[in-house]
Structure 1
Amino acid sequence: MLKSRNLLLVVLAASLYVACKTDPAYDKATQLAIDDDKIVNALKASEQTAAFTKDPSGVYYNIISAGEGIAPVIDDTLLIHYVGRTFPQGILFDSTATNVDSLSTKFVLADGIEGWQKGIPLIKPGGRIRLLIPSALGYQNRNLQNVDSALVENTNLDFDIRLISLKHKDNTKNK
Structure 2
Amino acid sequence: MKGLFFVFALLLALSACKKAETDNSAYLAQIGIDSNKIRAYLIANNIPIKKVGDTIGVYYQIINPGDVASLYTQSTLITVGYSAKILGAKDTLSQTNAYHPSFTLGSVIRGWQVGIPLIKKNGRIRLFVPSRYAYGPYDQTTNLKIPGNSCLDFDITLYNVTN
Task: Quickly name the TM-score band, shorter chain normalised.
Answer: 0.7 to 0.9
Matched residue, 1:128: 124
Alignment: residue pair count = 140
Q: Percent identity, aligned pairs only?
A: 31
Deviation at 1:72, TM superposition (A): 4.2
Secondary structure in 1 aligned to 2:161?
strand
Matched residue, 1:166: 161
1:11-160 residue pairs with structure 2 within 5 A?
25=23, 27-48=26-47, 51-56=48-53, 57-73=56-72, 74-98=74-98, 103-145=99-141, 149-160=144-155
Q: TM-score, normalised by structure 2?
A: 0.77
Deviation at 1:67, TM superposition (A): 0.8
Deviation at 1:163, TM superposition (A): 0.4
Letter in 2 for 1:138: A
Larger radius of gyration: 1
Task: Provide runs of 4+ in structure 1 moved above 4 Å.
Answer: none
CA distance in 2, matches of 1:32, 1:105: 30
Deviations 1:122-147 (A, max 9, x none): 0011000000001111011111136x
Structure 2, unaligned stretches of length 5 or more?
A: 1-18
CA distance in 1, matches of 2:131, 2:108: 14
Structure 1, unaligned stretches of length 5 or more?
A: 1-21, 169-175
